[in-house]
Chains A and B, each alone.
Chain A
Amino acid sequence: MTASRREFLQQSAAAAAAAGLASSALAHPVSAAPPIFQGDPSHKELVLRAIDAAKAAGAEYADARISSARSQNIGTRERRVTNIGDNETFGFGVRVLVGGAWGFAASSNLTPDEVTRVARQAVAQAKANRAAMVKPVQLAPIHHPPVPNGVWRSPIRIDPFTVAIEDKVAYLLEANAAAMAAGARFVNSNMFFLKDEKTFASTLGTVTQQTIFRAQPGMTVTMVSADNRDFQTRQSTDIQPKGLGYEHVLDNDMKRHAARWVEEAKQKLTAKPVEVGRYDLILHPSHLWLTIHEAIAHPTELDRAYGFEANYAGTSYLSPPEEKLGKFRMGPSFMNILADRSAPGSLSACGWDDEGVAPEDFHIVKDGIFVDYQTTREQAMWLDWWYKQNGRPTRSHGCSYAQTWADVQFQRMPNVNLMPGEQDLVWEDLIAATENGIAIIGDGSFSIDQQRYNAQFGGQLFYEVKNGRITGMLKDVAYQIRTPEFWNALDMIGGKRSYELGGAFGDGKGQPAQSNAVSHGCPPTRHKQINIINTGRTA
């Protein structure tokens, strides 16, 4: 890839704006003014108190996080508001390293005394864990000097919590009315917003304050056949969750799309059941992001490769690292996977990760070859040999994250993106070039084994492609793949103009299980001769 990540995003934004795609998150100009933290200034004193208490109790390293997160959820069906809910969660967590063993404690009671008690409890936890320790934890150095007053804020235009509830309700009910007018049998719609104010300090001298926003509007239209034998839904997967504010809702007016979603749900009722066999698959970005998430992003988490997730999320086919790094061919030479936590509007964007590291953009796959894993400070040390071999410094990629104050931070994926190809191809070009294929739009069912080899994916809409044209809609379609073969069957890829961000809030990993929010950017792709099954059965 020739362009840097940032240049690429700027070009994409310009292209999107030129094409009149006001809905693209990339089209929003990012304010150049330095952000100001509007959270509680006393939090800074309390995180410093926590790390001092931990040090006094014997910790060789400590970090503390205070988070005040507010979320709002509004749900409707047809002409009715089913729920309006505001949720606040507030508390702090302290993580310590004592004699090479981790301890963590957290509490929702944010008083100076409780901060001290929790810091000491974390140290006691770490001391208890030393009994079963084999290798002491070592942390990689941070590639930048300590940041004593770091401030970062999601690049939003409208804080969702300043928008009146009546306006939000009216937006959803108008969208529902548009769906009902178009003949929807049932329609559900909702919007969800998050604002998380996080204050962090570590014994290395870093203190950061960040305000993270996320927004997700959504709709599901359901159609039922006249005889009650069949029902089909269409979810609004063309509107993806973003790390944005209320402008994301306004820029994606569901009212304008509702009639089309109804029409598509109707078509699904009478669509032709797919014939099993091998087809060339053309995958839209609104679908492909999830395949990237499951089959590339998860197996390149370094803790999985070393077995640390064996009891829950699983391990990885990209293991052991010494046999895979620099050697394993993920796909064709035009396949590049770049990770970032910088794309404006993406769900994992931040200024610093949850151990005070400024994330960097990094290649996971370069020219088709697997070259790096996602890491934290602890994990980067495990790949010391690889970075030395390549003349690169051993340092974290900034992938530490905890879902709330109550959870210990660990390695979570950044945005993991499939970069566009050199040729200026778009979705229609891939269809025009395909003789016998199936085109899939929107994400649906997804399942993958614990080492990320065998996967099965559904979708929202499936189209039969014959001789370069869409010839009709199909139903009951799922594809089953073996991951390495699937990416090596990639033979066409869209260009910059066709690159889009998809993503999700509910990415689970860890015990206790934690949710991560992450985006995946990609252009459309074509994969040769993929196994299609028919999932329709009758009760």
Chain B
Amino acid sequence: MSTPKSLREAIPAGALLSRAEAQAIVERVVKMSRADSINVSLGTNYNTNVRFADNQMSTAGSVVDAGVAVQSSFGPKHAVVTTNDLSEESLRRCVQQSEVLARLAPDDPEAMPELEPQRYVDVNGYMDTTANIGAAERAQAALTALAPARKAGDIKAAGFLVAGAGCGALGNSKGMFAYHRSTSVNYTLTVRTTDGTGSGWAGADHPDWKQIDFEKVSTRAIDKARSSRNPAAVEPGRYTVILEPQAVGDLAQLISGYADARLADEGRSPFAKTGGGNKVGEKIVDSRVTLFSDPADAQLLAQPFDGEGLPIARQVWVENGMLKQLQYSRFWAKKQGKAPTGGTTSLKMEGGSASIDEMIRSTQRGILVTRLWYLREVDPRTILYTGLTRDGTFLIEEGRISRAIRNLRFNESPLFMLNNLEMLGAAERLAGTEAGGAVVMPAIKVRDFNFTSLSEAV
């Protein structure tokens, strides 16, 4: 498969490898090996971005990069060397260096044999509509925020738009080969009012440039900024809270970082069971909560294999509130007599039917949260995190938004939050996923969300 000619206009030559090109490189590297076995991981990407703030362009850039990681093994000894230089000479040096390091490494009692060839689900996350856009279209997209902001006079826009194309490939000396190519567009916008009292945020993310409604994102952030002006202070405490999908995702996606089976079995995880073992099979959150990974899901479109080459298909972590599965590495799965799950490249929470308007109408007194910020672990035993609300926090009284309020710091766990579930909205793809990867979350309404202090920050 050769790269379509149209792409050459936007993507510099060699910046995106076809399956055949990637496979040829992997096979060439495998042939260079003198080790008992070799694993090769290869990736290339091309990213372009524009950044603006204070109603003007600040920086723009485009970057071509590549990476190859080579793991050589001699029996139970292994080491990895990576480089971003794909020249023949560099690849050879990389293989030799990984062999030198592997011979020096002590025996790894947990070393696993190479994977045999695997079967992967087919996921198309590559869109020509994204691959073909140029600097002028990106600048035009930024103007959907800059033009109204400049014209209005009472607001300042700051945003970031990044679009790119890339591929990842894996192979080993047993003939295993995996390849996936993808495109991505991510647009986020913060609008602040010039009186310094209001701030609003919105964003969108998709592999397909055509699926991003730039106007809609810009309008939403502008509306949020204006309606969040002159916030009032409310007492910190436990509140009924409606969290928009981004805010739900900010907390709920943290759960996957604690889902390692080994840590639970070792007693150092929120999913460790008192007395020993783990909590798989136990109810951990409200029975309406189902959390899963599925690279082929139309909203996720993620890479269908993990960093080792293990296939990733639909994998349900929490089903109807019950902990269904933890992540098993190949070694730990073998030791415990389980199937390895592979890592995750996507996360989705099943949505419900309630609209945010319905959630507001059914709330006597509560708080509407746009998104959360600076989340940091406070207690790994309960996935307790602290952080703050940001860019649009509102008081709800008697079934309607009564006014903007100051931001609040919370100390809360996604496990406690999902136990206190009252209503569930439609699931949507998030733009603000700092760790990367595709994340889809619904809006939710919960009770007893724990706010511990007020912030003056706008």
**Chain B min CB distance to A68 (Å):** 10
Q: Which of B265-315 contact A (CB under 8 A)?
A: 266-268, 270, 272-276
Closest to B146 in A: A132
Residues of B within 8 A of A476 (CB): 379
Closest to B143 in A: A132
User: Counting CB contacts under 8 A, is B384 at the interface?
Assistant: yes
User: Counting CB contacts under 8 A, is B113 at the interface?
Assistant: no
Binds A, one of B18-26, B169-177, B358-366, B408-416: B408-416
Query: Given B84, B270, B375, which contacts A88 in the complex, CB threshold below 8 Å?
Result: B84
CA distance A315 to B456 in the complex (A): 12
User: Counting CB contacts under 8 A, is A471 at the interface?
Assistant: no
**Chain A min CB distance to B318 (Å):** 14
Query: Given B83, B150, B456, which contacts A454 in the complex, CB threshold below 8 Å?
Result: B456
Instruction: Write the A64-101 contact mask toward B (1 if CB under 8 angstroms, else 0).
Output: 00000000000000001111111111110000000001
Query: Given A88, A134, A448, A511, which contacts B374 in the complex, CB threshold below 8 Å?
Result: A448
Closest to A308 in B: B53
Given contact pairs A88-B82, A125-B60, A535-B411, A107 touches B12 in the complex (Cβ within 8 A): yes
Residues of B within 8 A of A230 (CB): 381
Closest to B272 in A: A228
Instruction: Write the B147-186 contact mask toward A (1 if CB under 8 angstroms, else 0).
Output: 0001000001011101000000000000000000000000
CA distance A126 to B85 in the complex (A): 28
- Contact status B65-A406, CB under 8 Å: yes
Instruction: Write the A303-326 contact mask toward B (1 if CB under 8 angstroms, else 0).
Output: 000111111101101000000000
Given contact pairs A83-B80, A453-B455, A478-B378, A133 touches B275 in the complex (Cβ within 8 A): no
CA distance A89 to B55 in the complex (A): 35
- Contact status A125-B270, CB under 8 Å: no
Instruction: Write the B110-153 contact mask toward A (1 if CB under 8 angstroms, else 0).
Output: 10000000000000000000000001101100110010001000
Given contact pairs A129-B60, A450-B373, A539-B270, A480 touches B452 in the complex (Cβ within 8 A): yes
Closest to A312 in B: B160
Residues of A within 8 A of B56 (CB): 132-135
Residue of A124, A129, A135, A512 with most partner-chain B CB within 10 A: A129
User: Counting CB contacts under 8 A, is B404 at the interface?
Assistant: no
- Contact status A133-B66, CB under 8 Å: no
- Contact status B61-A85, CB under 8 Å: no
User: Counting CB contacts under 8 A, is B105 at the interface?
Assistant: yes
Residues of A within 8 A of B54 (CB): 306-308
Residues of B within 8 A of A407 (CB): 61, 63
What's the dominant secondary structure at chain B's contact region? strand
Q: Which of A114-131 contact B (CB under 8 A)?
A: 117, 121, 124-126, 128-129, 131
**Chain B min CB distance to A20 (Å):** 35
**Chain B min CB distance to A266 (Å):** 14
Residues of B within 8 A of A446 (CB): 376
Query: Given A125, A132, A166, A453, which contacts B457 in the complex, CB threshold below 8 Å?
Result: A453
User: Counting CB contacts under 8 A, is A436 at the interface?
Assistant: no
Closest to A124 in B: B135
How many chain A residues touch B (Cβ–Cβ < 8 Å)? 88
- Contact status A128-B382, CB under 8 Å: no
User: Counting CB contacts under 8 A, is A530 at the interface?
Assistant: no
Q: Which of B415-458 contact A (CB under 8 A)?
A: 415-416, 434, 452-458
User: Counting CB contacts under 8 A, is B59 at the interface?
Assistant: yes
Binds A, one of B44-52, B338-346, B347-355: B44-52
- Contact status B58-A86, CB under 8 Å: no
Residues of B within 8 A of A308 (CB): 53-54, 58, 158
Given contact pairs A307-B156, A311-B53, A538-B382, A480 touches B390 in the complex (Cβ within 8 A): no
- Contact status A165-B453, CB under 8 Å: no
CA distance A5 to B409 in the complex (A): 38
CA distance A129 to B62 in the complex (A): 13
**Chain A min CB distance to B315 (Å):** 23
**Chain A min CB distance to B230 (Å):** 16
- Contact status A117-B12, CB under 8 Å: yes
Residues of B within 8 A of A447 (CB): 374-376, 386-388, 409
**Chain B min CB distance to A75 (Å):** 11
**Chain A min CB distance to B337 (Å):** 21
CA distance A478 to B376 in the complex (A): 12
- Contact status A408-B61, CB under 8 Å: yes
Closest to B82 in A: A87
- Contact status B64-A102, CB under 8 Å: no
Given contact pairs A106-B61, A307-B53, A449 touches B390 in the complex (Cβ within 8 A): yes
- Contact status A103-B378, CB under 8 Å: no
Residues of A within 8 A of B102 (CB): 84
Given contact pairs A231-B381, A453-B457, A125 touches B373 in the complex (Cβ within 8 A): no
Binds A, one of B187-195, B238-246, B248-256: B187-195
- Contact status A109-B59, CB under 8 Å: no
Q: Which of A466-493 contact B (CB under 8 A)?
A: 476, 478, 480, 482
**Chain A min CB distance to B160 (Å):** 4
CA distance A229 to B269 in the complex (A): 10
CA distance A305 to B104 in the complex (A): 51
Residues of A within 8 A of B62 (CB): 104-106, 121, 125
Closest to A536 in B: B379
Residues of A within 8 A of B276 (CB): 228
- Contact status B82-A539, CB under 8 Å: no
User: Counting CB contacts under 8 A, is B97 at the interface?
Assistant: yes
- Contact status B409-A224, CB under 8 Å: no
CA distance A458 to B267 in the complex (A): 22
- Contact status B57-A311, CB under 8 Å: no
User: Counting CB contacts under 8 A, is B218 at the interface?
Assistant: no
**Chain B min CB distance to A342 (Å):** 28
Query: Given A81, A312, A535, which contacts B378 in the complex, CB threshold below 8 Å?
Result: A535
Given contact pairs A310-B156, A449-B390, A108 touches B58 in the complex (Cβ within 8 A): no
Residues of B within 8 A of A90 (CB): 83-85
User: Counting CB contacts under 8 A, is A200 at the interface?
Assistant: no
CA distance A89 to B110 in the complex (A): 29
Residues of B within 8 A of A88 (CB): 81-85
Residue of B78, B84, B105, B454 with most partner-chain A CB within 10 A: B84
Residues of A within 8 A of B386 (CB): 445, 447, 456, 478, 535
- Contact status B65-A125, CB under 8 Å: no
User: Counting CB contacts under 8 A, is B108 at the interface?
Assistant: yes
CA distance A446 to B275 in the complex (A): 32
Given contact pairs A109-B14, A453-B455, A227 touches B104 in the complex (Cβ within 8 A): no
CA distance A90 to B456 in the complex (A): 44
CA distance A126 to B110 in the complex (A): 52
Query: Given A309, A311, A406, A445, which contacts B63 in the complex, CB threshold below 8 Å?
Result: A406
Closest to A446 in B: B376
User: Counting CB contacts under 8 A, is A37 at the interface?
Assistant: no
User: Counting CB contacts under 8 A, is B79 at the interface?
Assistant: yes
Query: Given A125, A229, A453, which contacts B274 in the complex, CB threshold below 8 Å?
Result: A229
User: Counting CB contacts under 8 A, is B4 at the interface?
Assistant: no
**Chain A min CB distance to B229 (Å):** 16
Residues of B within 8 A of A87 (CB): 81-83
User: Counting CB contacts under 8 A, is A169 at the interface?
Assistant: yes
- Contact status B192-A310, CB under 8 Å: yes
- Contact status B139-A131, CB under 8 Å: yes
Residues of chain A having any CB pair with chain B under 8 Å: 80-91, 101-109, 117, 121, 124-126, 128-129, 131-135, 164-166, 169, 173, 185-186, 222, 224, 227-231, 233, 306-312, 314-315, 317, 406-408, 410, 445-454, 456, 458, 476, 478, 480, 482, 511-513, 531, 533, 535-539
28 examples of A-B residue contacts, CB within 8 angstroms: A80-B108, A81-B106, A84-B78, A88-B82, A89-B67, A90-B85, A102-B59, A105-B63, A106-B63, A109-B14, A109-B64, A129-B50, A129-B57, A132-B57, A165-B101, A165-B104, A186-B266, A407-B63, A408-B59, A445-B376, A445-B386, A449-B455, A454-B457, A456-B453, A512-B47, A537-B413, A539-B381, A539-B413
Question: Apart from A81-B108, A128-B136, A312-B160, what 9 extra A-B contacts exist at CB < 8 Å?
Answer: A90-B85, A121-B62, A165-B101, A308-B158, A445-B376, A449-B374, A512-B49, A536-B379, A537-B413
Among all A-B residue pairs, the 4 with the closest Cβ atoms: A454-B455, A451-B457, A310-B158, A449-B457
